[in-house]
Amino acid sequence: MEDVNNIGAHLQDLRARASELSSAADALGTIYEDEAARLRRVDQVACLKTLLSNVLGELGRTKRRETSASLSHSQASLVGSLFQLGAGLITMTSENRTMRAISRQSLAGPSSRELPFGTVLVRIGPKGLPEDVEVVSISSLARESEQDESQVIERLLAGGNLLVSKESFSHLIDRLAGEILEGRLGLPVSAARLSQLQERRVLRLNPKNKDEPPEKDRLSP
């Protein structure tokens, strides 16, 4: 009888230990899952920081290209103005009919409209962050399509894109990084989701300077 009692007590002790081990295993599993989630959030923030660095670099390069294009255009315009001035003088002074006819034709040529330069924004496409992001020169697109910058912006916005400046994009990445580290958000984040966060005032994407879309195309604060 005593042996039976000892066996029963031993079994109870084993059950208690098994329960403790099971609880410890569950706790370790929770700790592991929490740490894995934390590391995922850290990796996602690192991904956003890398994206920000790449975008800022491309913004700088695109701005420099726009500056170079503007200078080239100004030089070409100056040469054209000097040519027209010379043509005007020939028209007034030359006795050669052929030269005078050529000069009049040059003066009567079509006048080019003022071309835009320097407006560079970050486009966030419908797929959102981090994969659907690029730097776009609104001015370059306007020159190529012979449209106003406002028309180019309207076309991009109609395609489900968000357009933000360098400063707004930097602010956006910082805010998203904070939301991710606190576990309230995760990548990827679509453009539609960013708009929702904007409407809930979690994020502010509205422009702050002249590099942003016109007032009528801004996202509401």
The 10s digit of each residue's pLDDT in 123-143 is 999 999 999 999 999 999 999
Q: What is the CB neighbour count within 10 angstroms for residue 48?
A: 20
Helices and strands (H and E) in the chain: how many: 6, 3
- Is 168 within the bounds of a domain? yes
Specify the pLDDT at position 21. 72
- Is 98 within the bounds of a domain? no
Q: Which residues lie below 8 Å from residue 37, measured CB to CB, with a gap of 6+? A: 183
- Is 165 within the bounds of a domain? yes
- Is 151 within the bounds of a domain? yes
- Is 169 within the bounds of a domain? yes
Residue 188 CA to residue 205 CA, distance in Å, equals 17
Q: Stretch 5-34: mean pLDDT, rounded?
A: 73
Q: What is the CB neighbour count within 10 angstroms for residue 122?
A: 24
Structural domain harbouring 187: 2-61+119-217
Q: Is the pTM of this model over 0.85?
A: no
For residue 164, what are the β-bridge partners? 122
- Is 177 within the bounds of a domain? yes
Q: Which residues lie below 8 Å from residue 47, measured CB to CB, with a gap of 6+? A: 130, 187
- Is 72 within the bounds of a domain? no
- Is 104 within the bounds of a domain? no
Domain count, the chain: 1
Q: Which amino acid is at 79?
A: V
Residue 77 CA to residue 80 CA, distance in Å, equals 5
Specify the pLDDT at position 220. 30
Banded model confidence at residue 2, pLDDT cuts 50, 70, 90: low
Q: Stretch 187-211: mean pLDDT, rounded?
A: 72
